[in-house]
Structure 1
Amino acid sequence: MTIEIIGTYAVAICLLIGSGFVAVGVIGLLKFNDSMTRLHAPTKVGTVGIGALLLASMAHSFVLGDSSIHEMLIMVFLFVTAPISANFIAKVNIHLRSCSAPPAPSNDIAWSTLNVSEEDREIAKLDPS
């Protein structure tokens, strides 16, 4: 077996894995009924799926003898921005109360919840921005 045949098999495997992950993400996006559960499928599964498809594109270009790192830049951008945007979307859903609020913490009443101390509320009322 030559390196081209092994590369072609690697590209095919990456394409199958990537398309499988993307299909699972799409099914999850359509099947879940809550915005917070709907958020989970495309961000987690879709990132891996698109990463595998981009990896297949990189492998294919290297098998043909070309060098292509544009896909690597896209993957880095995708892996950095997808969790951040998912976090912001989840925070908006929590603050709009469109989903159930997170459970109360065990030790601190203001950490990681929407509970705000009276001092902070007074400061927020004074701050016009």
Structure 2
Amino acid sequence: MNQVEALPLWVEVITAALLLLGSLFALLGAIGLVRLKDFFQRMHPPALASTLGAWCIALASILYFSWLKHAPLLHAWLIPILLSITVPVTTLLLARAALFRKRMAGDEVPAEVSSRPPQG
């Protein structure tokens, strides 16, 4: 039989705290998604909260499994790094698409920002 060694209390406490913190961030993002009124307000909380929650969960996983294997577990870093890269890009694309649709529908939206210098 394979013996499972006991983890030190401090590893268990930090892992549990990171898991709870990550879950709390995910819950706050979900509440923000439900409670806020329009699309533009709803984009921000889930993007930030899910990214922070993923970082906490990944850190807990890295700590726990690195301690079990007695070696650094670095491939778990890929998940939060990829999320940190893709979530802002996706959020920006969704916001621009929604703004474009509102402009085409004739709704009142902020004016376009021109990249050209003013003529004069």
Q: CA deviation at 1:51?
A: 1.2
Shift, 1:111, TM fit: 2.8
Which position in structure 2 is the counterpart of 1:111? 114
Q: Could you say which residue in structure 1 is the equivalent of 2:3?
A: none
The answer as to whether partners of 1:8 and 1:63 remain within 8 angstroms in 2 is no
Mapped pair 1:82 → 2:87 = yes
Amino acid at match of 2:114: W
Query: How far 1:33 moved relative to its partner?
Result: 2.3
Task: Work out the percentage of aligned pairs sharing the same amino acid.
Answer: 28
Name the structure 2 match of 1:53: 57
Aligned to 1:64: 68
Report the aligned-residue RMSD: 2.5
Q: Shift in Å at residue 9 of structure 1?
A: 1.1
Runs (5+) with no aligned partner, structure 1: 117-129
Whole-angstrom distance in 2 between the partners of 1:110 and 1:73: 35
Counting matched residue pairs gives: 107
The reply on whether 1:13 has 2:17 as its aligned counterpart is: yes
Is 2:43 the counterpart of 1:42?
Answer: no
Q: TM-score, normalised by structure 1?
A: 0.72
CA contact (8 A) 1:4 1:63 kept: no
Aligned to 1:26: 30
